[in-house]
Amino acid sequence: MGLLSRSVLALLGSSLLVTASPTAIIEHTKRGTLIARQDGNYECKCYAGDDCWPAEAEWNALNSTVDGQLFNVIPDPAVCYQEYEGIPTYDAVKCAEVTQKWGEQQWQTDQQVSNLWVLWTNMTCLPPSAGGGDTCTQGHIPDYVIMATTHDHIKAGIDFVRENNLRLIIRNTGHDFLGRSTGYGALAINTHSFKDVEFIEQYTSSDGEYNGRAVKVGAGIQGRELYTLANQQNPPQTIVAGECPTVGFAGGYIQGGGHGPMSTHYGMAADQVLEFEVITADGEFVTANAAENADLFWAVAGGGPSTFAAVLTVTIKTFDDAEASGFNFDLTTTDPEEFWKGVEIFHSYSNHWIENGMFVYFELGHMLFRVHPAVAPKLNEAQLENITQPLLDELTAANIPHTFSTKTFQSFYDLYIDMFEDEGTGSAAHVGGRIFTKKDIAEHNKEIVEAYRLSAEGAGMFFIGHIVGPGEGLPTVNNAIHPTWRQASTFTISSLAVPFDASKALKDELQDYLTNVGDAALRDASPNGAAYVNEGNLEEPNWQEAYWGSNYPRLLELKEKWDSGRIFYARTTPGTEDWAVIDDLGRLCKKV
């Protein structure tokens, strides 16, 4: 298939789609399309069918520049359908592979542009066995992808996007609840191949404040890979990374802040950064640390994913690994009143866990509460049992049925491999959440649990909790992360499932419930709390304050300095106030 064939197909279909949407094209311009809506006029990025869309020769020239690594995007499940937008695609063998692997996160992250949570693709091309319909269509995925293998490939893609006013997607794994790794009609740059890792025994930071062990990692390295390589050092090292093994460490995870099992001891992942190497919106290779481009260094460390630059490498602190212990816990009662009393009792110990250096991962739904696992770095089993005894005594006194078991390990790494469970993929849900402070837990725990119950029973909402206190180990920092994280005790992700065949009206209705009922109850119950940009609500009220607090004005200034042309975009990140996806097609546009 030639590089322009997708463009031709899009040109044939785009006018029908735009006509069907609640917008009207005013004119095509050399920079995009001007569209009118009831709420005003918008100037859009350039899409196939627009006058500004690059000609075939320009795409071919880009392909030559990136050494043949430019590809037309065809969704992976297209091999299960007879055709994809006029292109014959059916392949029984490949369809069997996609069907088998669809629920595996590592397989998904290894693909060109696959997103682990399919709501953001518009669910228009899924395997038939995983909720797919009768046809496979583009939905909200990119048109093209550069499978970058050199840093120059990334630069070439950014330059091409800037020169042609295209939408840009930086994609290293697609592990993103909020759809920032996909976008209709975009040029994606896949950075997954950058797996270089260099451990440094004696690293001195640019400001002289740190002298110790470090590791420099490429943009494509994933959490479990980095944990494993750190464990192989002498002596074994550990790092602050996420609990999920497939998260791309140097991507949105660290740019949004990054919490994990070691965060109560050492702080957030972005707190460990000693240096970034990036490509800016102007296509410049830049080093950012405490002494060089210090403002960019401050912003990229927690100021928002896909916001200021494309990260090539990040250098972070490492720490000597040590013994660790952990426990698993489940409520087993079938009585609703006993169940929610048990949740209230366990949740009330959040401050207790973090004050003892712990991290607790829990899942909560209607009559489901499971802790798999709770992590106690640097503590042995006897110490952990002593810490947990008050909880167990209180549950026993209240006659709350439960199960509880502990394990001990020679290292945190051994615990991580043994006790953390791999997660699935392919689901569709609206996502929100809330950071609860120590003060909120101490004064409003009952109300917080009542808020959980309201939407778990009322709408089947599901919660993933992370009892984590970055301020316990690192009470003050100088980066863009919301200051409320320093008072945090618990961070909870809220989610509300979306049927695969949901209409736009139903999706909007479910989003409204999440924002204005489920998450609203969590906000009301936590007057001292905040929100987390990596795992938050895209309709979060007053998101600038909720995600960054007092840091937002400076972040907005730095966005204007480092990306005035808005090359990098992710919803609810600094500088996106006037930008929106304004129609059913998925065009990204700026209000003018």
Q: Which helix (H) or strand (E) holds 548?
A: helix 543-548
216 or 28, which is more confident?
A: 216
Note whether 307 and 575 are within 8 A (CB). yes
Mean of the per-residue pLDDT values of the chain: 94
> What is the spatial distance between Cα 193 and Cα 154, in angstroms, rounded to a whole number?
12
The share of the chain scoring above pLDDT 70, in percent, equals 96
- Per-residue pLDDT averaged across 278-285, rounded? 98
CA atoms of 519 and 472, how far apart (whole Å):
26
Q: What pLDDT was estimated at residue 582? A: 85
* From 23-32, 200-209, 369-378, 388-397, the region with the lowest mean pLDDT: 23-32
Residue 1 is predicted with a pLDDT of 33
What percent of the chain stands above pLDDT 90? 90
- CATH 3.30.465.10 occupies which residues in the chain? 197-320
pLDDT for the residue 151: 98
**Residue 32: per-residue pLDDT:** 76
Cis peptide before 373 (omega within 30 of 0): yes
- Cβ neighbourhood burial of 115 (10 Å; 0-12, 13-18, 19+): buried
Work out the pLDDT band at 23, boundaries 50, 70, 90: low
The model's pLDDT over 81-121, given as tens digits with 9 standing for 90+, comes to 999 999 999 999 999 999 999 999 999 999 999 999 999 99
Q: Tokens representing 267? A: 């702080």
* Whole-angstrom distance, CA of residue 347 vs CA of residue 271: 27
* Block residue for tokens 């093209």: 144
Question: What is d(CA 495, CA 500) in angstroms, rounded to the nearest whole number?
Answer: 15
Asked if 426 and 500 touch (Cβ cutoff 8 Å), the reply is no
Q: How confident is the model at residue 33 (pLDDT cuts 50, 70, 90)?
A: confident
Domain 197-320 indexed as CATH 3.50.50.60 = no
DSSP 219: T
Q: What is the pLDDT of residues 437-453, one digit of tens each?
A: 999 999 999 999 999 99
Q: For 203-211, what is the mean pLDDT?
A: 96
Q: What is the mean predicted confidence (pLDDT) over 527-547?
A: 98
Span(s) in the chain for CATH 3.40.462.20? 324-550
CB 101 within 8 A of CB 79: no
The two three-digit tokens of residue 484, written as one number = 């409320």
Stretch 232-242: mean pLDDT: 98
- How does residue 40 score in pLDDT terms, banded at 50, 70 and 90? confident
Residue 186's closest CA among 89, 234, 115, 257?
115
Q: Which CATH architecture has domain 324-550?
A: 3-Layer(aba) Sandwich (3.40)
CA distance 310 to 252: 10
Q: What average pLDDT does range 571-588 have in this prediction?
A: 91
Exposure string for 249-288, b = 16+ CB within 10 A, e = fewer: bbbbbbbbbbbbbbbbbbbbbbbbbbbbbbbbbebeebbb
b/e per residue, 197-229, with b = 16+ CB within 10 A? eebeeebebbeeeeeebbbbbbbbbbbbbbbeb
Which residues does 41 contact at the CB level (< 8 Å), separation at least 6?
Answer: 26, 34, 35, 591, 592
Strands (E), 209-309: 211-218, 237-238, 273-279, 285-288
- Beta strands, E only, 184-309: 187-190, 197-204, 211-218, 237-238, 273-279, 285-288
Confidence of residue 19 (pLDDT cuts 50, 70, 90): very low
This prediction's pTM? 0.94
Residues 6+ apart with CB under 8 A from 311: 219, 250, 251, 254, 255, 276, 277, 278, 300
Q: How confident is the model at residue 39 (pLDDT cuts 50, 70, 90)?
A: confident
pLDDT band at 5 (very low <50, low <70, confident <90, very high): very low
Q: For residue 128, count CB atoms less than 10 angstroms from its CB and return exposed for 0-12, middle for 13-18, buried for 19 or more.
A: middle
Place of tokens 């099992």: 261
| Residue 377, pLDDT above cutoff 60 | yes
pLDDT in tens, 467-484: 999 999 999 999 999 999
Please check the confidence at residue 7 and state whether its pLDDT lies above 70.
no
* pLDDT of the residue at 30: 66
